Amino acid sequence: MKVVYHDIFRLVYDYDPAAAKGRIDCIIDELHGAYEFIEPDPAQEADLLLVHQPGHIEYVKGNDTLYRVALFAAGGAIKAAELAYRGEPAFALVRPPGHHAGRNSCWGFCWFNNIAIAIEKLRRRGAVNKVLIVDIDLHFGDGTDNIYEDAPEVSYYHLYGMDGFRQCLSVYTDCDLVAVSAGFDMHVKDWGFILRTEDYKTIGKLIAGHARKFCGGKFFAVLEGGYNHQVLGKSVKALLEGFDAGR
């Protein structure tokens, strides 16, 4: 399991909870020394255009600092996806998040849809075709869902509890790659009051086991939400431990 990260993600680029000071640090504190960190390159505008309309990109460019950080976030997701395609599971420790960003719109602290950009980068060059996106964030990833509403090769599933999650994995068995929108705000001490820290380890095991059974272990995850710094890092580590345990 590799962690894709760049120090630019420490910048406070906005005033929303995803950009809060210390949010990335609390995760690094838990993962440092346990996983290999790999630095990404920024995404190119051509990568953004795989998913987003030119007008939306120009809108984000209006905030230079935000745009620079967002390019690296998309680039981090691309790097994680490329590692996964080569059979090396990866976690993109990036921000801003992305699953609320559509082709020509954004909200919910998201600007570019990192996970969709990464998936399209692989799909357009023929590296993968059928992709399962599993979203474990508290909030439905409307941006991701809308981007792929007319693409039957890409299936988007939002977690609605552990039983539903197991049912999802039992249905989606035909894929070349599994991508995880890894939000942690469903935690009992975050906004969702639903999942415990140990539940993320179980989720990680299930996802990794599914990927190794049906698509040669090709899976990656990208950070989305999660705002309680006291539990966020521990939840991320639990998910990654589950990924490793699901061999």
Q: At 100, is the secondary structure helix, strand, or coil? A: coil
Dist CA 203 CA 174 (whole Å): 19
If we measure between CA atoms, which residue out of 142, 137, 147, 236 comes closest to residue 191?
137
Q: Is the dihedral of CA 52, 56, 58, 64 positive or negative?
A: negative
Q: Is 100 annotated in the active site? A: yes
Tokens of 30: 């838990």
Helix, strand, coil % in the chain, rounded to nearest 5: 45, 15, 40
Q: Which of 6, 52, 99, 100 is catalytic?
A: 100
Catalytic positions, please? 100
